[in-house]
Amino acid sequence: MLLLTQAKSIGRLARPLSRSLYSGLIPLRPWARPFTITSRAAAKLDLPALDLKWRKRWAQLQQVQKDKTKDKVDKYILPMFPYPSGYLHLGHLRVYTIADAIARYNALRGHNVLLPMGWDAFGLPAENAAIERSINPATWTKDNIARMKEQLQMMNGSWDWEREIATCDPSFYKHTQKIFLLLHQHGLAYRTEAEVNYDPVDKTVLANEQVDANGCSWRSGAKVEKRKLNQWFLRISAFREALLDDLELLAKDEAWPERVLAMQRNWLGKSKGATIKFPILAYDQDVHAAIEVYTSRPDTLFGVQYLALAATHPIVTKLAETDPELQAFLDTLPGLPPDSKVGYMLPHIRAINPLAYHPDTPDATKQSLPIYVAPYVIGDYGEGAVMGVPAHDARDHAFWRTHRGDEPVRYVLASNEDESTTVIPNEPFLDHGIMTAHSGPYKGKPSQEAGEMLVKMLAEAGLAKPVEKWRLRDWLISRQRYWGTPIPIVHCASCGEVPVPDEQLPVLLPEVDAHWAGKKTGNPLETLDEWVNTECPKCHGPAKRDTDTMDTFVDSSWYYMRFIDPHNEAGPFDPQKARDMLPVDIYIGGIEHAILHLLYARFIYKFLMTSPLFPTSSASERHEPFKRLITQGMVHGRTFTDPATGRFLKPDELDLSDPANPRIKATGTKPNVTYEKMSKSKHNGVDPTAVIATHGADATRAHMLFQAPVGDVLDWDGDKIVGVTRWLSRVHDLVEKVTSTAPSPDYDFPTPKAYFESLAPRLSSLGEAELKQYDANSALWRTTQTTIASVSQSYEKVYPLNTVISDLMQLTNTLSDTLSCATPQIAREAVSILIRLMAPVTPAVAEECWSVLEPTSSGLFASEEGARWPERDGSEAVLRERKMKCAVQVNGKVRAVCEIGIAPEGLEGDKLREFVVGEIMKQDEHRQSLTRLTETASDSF
């Protein structure tokens, strides 16, 4: 459609529009016109009933087909498996809808798709629930699995339940234990004493990744304590180079989101720098001769104004023995956040900057340095010590201002040679730059070059050494809890750590019903003598089982590999099946797993693919478990608060009879309405199964995808789902119409493309009725071809799945507009394409429509006899649009919408204007009214 604006002189047939009044031809938005629906069509389609009908048919079909495609997978689609908490929430509904839509799309493209489902079934919540309810965690977990599986089946998903796994099943954790022993055999699983994060509420240790920025447990929220314990670690650091380097592979073609890649790079934290020795001045103190500090910024060495030590630094530990005030300070640290600015200045001890020994060093740098104990210094990173450079580090600057705010900050770097730092006064300058006068003989040098020179000079004096550091630490997997995979090691006084022999696996979790009945806390395995006391497999003497269980992230680090061979008793998977089916083609889950799960899964996959379990692997291969990663956004719920008190309102406190104008029942006032993360405390949760029971799974799925792009936060608005249900009914109505319309006897073409090719050369000779039909056919087929391209691209890219629904609605509009004029055979083919394009998102409605359109078909998703994804037929080259719509605007107001002929190629400027005006004025119904309007407009000038 074109827009002809300010057509002041349109009434003068002999006079073209003046150049000053002509504003150009502007395409109108195709979605500007809303589509209409009929209540008759809406009433005909019972969506929940269709769900039941087709789920039953699919189950029968799957039973018949399961052996035909067994182990012939060529497309592996996987959503992150759920924790069986007992109910599905809208976040589950979103990720599993995305996964199923992509799986069904690939199935229609002819792929043998693997879409499995399982349960991340071990973990603290189940054990805490068992204690609270006095039941076995296995009972609680299995009941939840049964409930959630029933809910999942309501979603019209195409899950392969033949491959279902649960990590708490001995048939699964037997192989988790085998993988652990394989790691142990290769020196990648080891036990050592270490300072660990201890959760005093859940009574277990946590990996660094499971402690939040405030020093609290990710599960219980309790302040984490530091304890020294013997714990099991996996040596993930042995794979750190590959974990970092192969991120480049995942970055190609945007296979993984850049945000996730950045988070992984930062967590791996590779940096190049130097360890530098700061000599100690100690007055009557028996401490080390020097403190070693790691820094990645040796160029700031002239700006060091203090040293800070971790609470666990050996000097601090030594001094605390005789300094009760220091010990009292250390006792307060577990309750403080890691970024706390508190500090304790060690008395009777100072440090010397190693540059002080150089004669040309400025006097300020030669002054002795105070030494603090500070919670922001991490004990297991670097040397447990940092050099405080307030002018060039944000944390150091904040700490210095807190403790020495009256003393100046010494800037040794600037952005340019005139020593202007180009920052806000009193703020640190964080970038590399040019050395200032405070850097003595290095003034004016680029800071990176100067830093290298300083390290080289100090190295020659034995005061520095170039080093490479990583933030990544080995993976702590010990958990002092019951509900997890038992660690398959026995401890023998004679033989040490002895692996449990393969024939004795799995090491089963014993029954401890009395523990749950008594609501006891702690790890019952530690006190279960009949289970702990055993025989050493090596010397057959007395030994004790290890009572720790594994972190549940060990289970999820390899579960996706078990899906390819879930019934293999001999090993975790068959090597040939791994070669044929792995890696996962598309992995879908939340951004919250960007570090923990994904990093661990990459590590274990790299190990297993180079282990004896996969002997055909080449040393040069780069192994990554997930080719593409799709991270979906969270689902937020509509949240109501009282504007007077800020209190979250419950649904029964609200009058929602008019969704657009909610009211508080008690006061009649309008509540504040926002969209926030769903939680019980905010009363904004939505039960997806209730939505499905009311509107049907297909409408719920389509509405879920339609509301937002996959990667964005989705603000759930259930009131608008009715628009989707009406669209589905409208599609079904179109199917009935095209199947009840007799074929045109004059249409004798094998394909629509052949029809358009035959008419293209002789359009000028067609009569008015034939041209009208041609226009309807070409408009319909053009929209159909562009929709095939757009929808296919959206399924491929995944993130713009919301546009699939809008594109299909537009095609539905075009079908409705052209159905009365279009050739029945072409309309039928367009409807066939519409059904196949919508099938991945709305499978039950699509199957129902397909059964009407193709009553002899075995079904859309039959593996061999089913439908296939539509492809563009190349007819765009011969499709000619003879007319287009043109909106005529006079003085800013649309006065008419006309159909005009397509301008010949090459027309522009005045000739194009003359053509457009002439086409408009050929139409009697517009000529008089527009002439009168434009003459009136002329008189007003």
pLDDT (tens digit per residue) in 184-239? 999 999 999 887 788 888 777 877 667 776 778 866 788 888 788 899 999 999 99
Q: Rounded CA gap, 913 and 869, in Å?
A: 44
- The chain-wide mean pLDDT, for the chain, equals 87
> What strands lie across the sheet with 2-4, from one edge to the other?
2-4, 883-890, 893-901
- Average pLDDT score over residue span 667-688: 87
Instruction: Tell me what percent of the residues of the chain surpass a pLDDT of 90.
Output: 63
Higher pLDDT, 34 or 367: 367
The rounded Cα 890 to chain-centroid distance in angstroms is 50
Mean pLDDT of 898-915: 74
pLDDT (mean) for 631-649: 91
Sorting pLDDT into bands at 50, 70 and 90, what band is 939? Answer: very low
Q: What is the DSSP letter of 78?
A: E
Instruction: Measure the CA–CA gap between 242 and 40, rounded to whole angstroms.
Output: 62
Distances (CA, A) of 825 to 204, 609, 737, 745: 69, 54, 12, 10
pLDDT of residue 594: 87
Q: Which residue has the higher pLDDT, 918 or 444?
A: 444
The whole-angstrom separation of Cα 95 and Cα 633 is 9
What is the pLDDT at residue 14?
A: 31
Total Cβ atoms within 10 A of residue 22: 21
Is residue 880 scored above 70 in pLDDT?
A: no
Tell which wins on pLDDT, 188 or 746: 188
DSSP line for 428-489? ---S--EE-GGGGGGTTSBHHHHHHHHHHHHHHTTSEEEEEE-S---EE-EE-SSSSPBP-E
- Element housing 641 (H / E): strand 635-641
Kindly report which listed range (131-145, 421-435, 810-824) carries the lowest average pLDDT score. 421-435
Task: Report the C-alpha gap between 843 and 862 in whole angstroms.
Answer: 12
Q: What is the DSSP string of 405-420?
A: TTSPP---EESSTT--
- Asked whether residue 39 carries a pLDDT value surpassing 60, the answer given is no
Q: What is the mean pLDDT of residues 527-532?
A: 94
What was the pLDDT predicted at 483? Answer: 95
pLDDT digits (tens, 9 = 90+) for 8-18: 334 333 333 33
pLDDT band for position 915 (50/70/90)? confident
Segments of the chain assigned to CATH 1.10.730.10: 742-853
Predicted TM-score (pTM) of the model is 0.84
Helices 909-921, 924-939: inter-axial angle, 10-degree rounding: 120
Is the pLDDT assigned to residue 43 strictly greater than 50? Answer: no
pLDDT score for 940: 42
Q: Is the pLDDT of residue 928 over 80?
A: no
Question: What is the structure's pLDDT at 99?
Answer: 97
Of 417, 401, 420, nearest to 409 (Cα)? Answer: 401
Report the alpha-carbon distance of residue 550 to residue 625 in Å, rounded: 21
pLDDT at 486: 98
Q: Which of 66-75, 153-162, 505-514, 793-802 has the lowest mean pLDDT?
A: 66-75
pLDDT of 462 over the 90 cut: yes
Classify domain 270-470 at the CATH topology level: Isoleucyl-tRNA Synthetase; domain 2 (3.90.740)
pLDDT per position as a tens digit, 583-620: 999 999 998 888 889 999 999 999 999 998 887 766 67
* Residue 286: predicted pLDDT: 67
In the chain, CATH 3.90.740.10 sits at: 270-470
Report residue 419's pLDDT band, with 50, 70 and 90 as the boundaries.
low
Q: How far apart are CA 904 and CA 926, in angstroms?
A: 23
* CATH superfamily, region 742-853: Isoleucyl-tRNA Synthetase; Domain 1 (1.10.730.10)
